[in-house]
Amino acid sequence: MRVAALTLALAVPSLSLTGCGLQPIYAGGGNGFVARELAAIDVPPIPGREGWLVRNALNDRLGRGATGSTSQYRLDIVLDDDLEGLGLLTDDTIGRQRRILRARYQLVDVATDTILVDATAGSDAGIDVVGSEFATIAAEQTALENLAQEVANQIVTRVTRTLRETQ
């Protein structure tokens, strides 16, 4: 009796979701439409260390090279990496920094040279400036690595939504 009640309790909400039109973005898994389209995006080299980090994060998320697919799209990216001082201490030294990473990107259909997405992504992180210069530099680098991951996530999310809508 309990099993039947539990089954009914779980089935009713799932029935209501099937009629709302929601569909999983990655339907079909690695062989689904969106996964194949993401793997067909080429990300050209981006200048600088921040460009290297963002490009690697994007290639990891896009599954580039996993299927051996040819490039159907190109993702052009221009990055702006800024490190600014925020707080002045009593001895006129900077006590806090903010690192900002912004990306302007375009998803281009290679066959038609049509721009499918033209958008920006970005994030920022706060960094404490401490007495050790090594620790401050390490914190700046860690912030950049984390920001590159966040920007790549934002780009892939937007591109995925666009590709899903074109299906």
Burial 42-55 (b: 16+ CB within 10 A, else e): bbeebeeebbebbb
23 φ, ψ to 5°? -135, 145
Global confidence as pTM: 0.78
By three-state DSSP, how is residue 153 classified?
helix
**CATH code matching the domain that covers 24-166, chosen among 3.10.105.10, 3.40.50.300, 3.30.70.260, 3.30.160.150:** 3.30.160.150
pLDDT, one tens digit for every residue, the chain (167 residues): 565 555 656 555 655 555 565 555 555 555 677 788 898 999 999 999 999 999 999 999 998 655 555 789 999 999 999 998 887 776 777 778 899 999 999 999 999 999 999 999 999 999 888 888 898 889 999 999 999 999 999 999 999 999 888 76
Angle at 21 between CA 17 and CA 24, to 5 degrees: 80
- Say how far apart CA 35 and CA 79 lie, in whole Å: 25
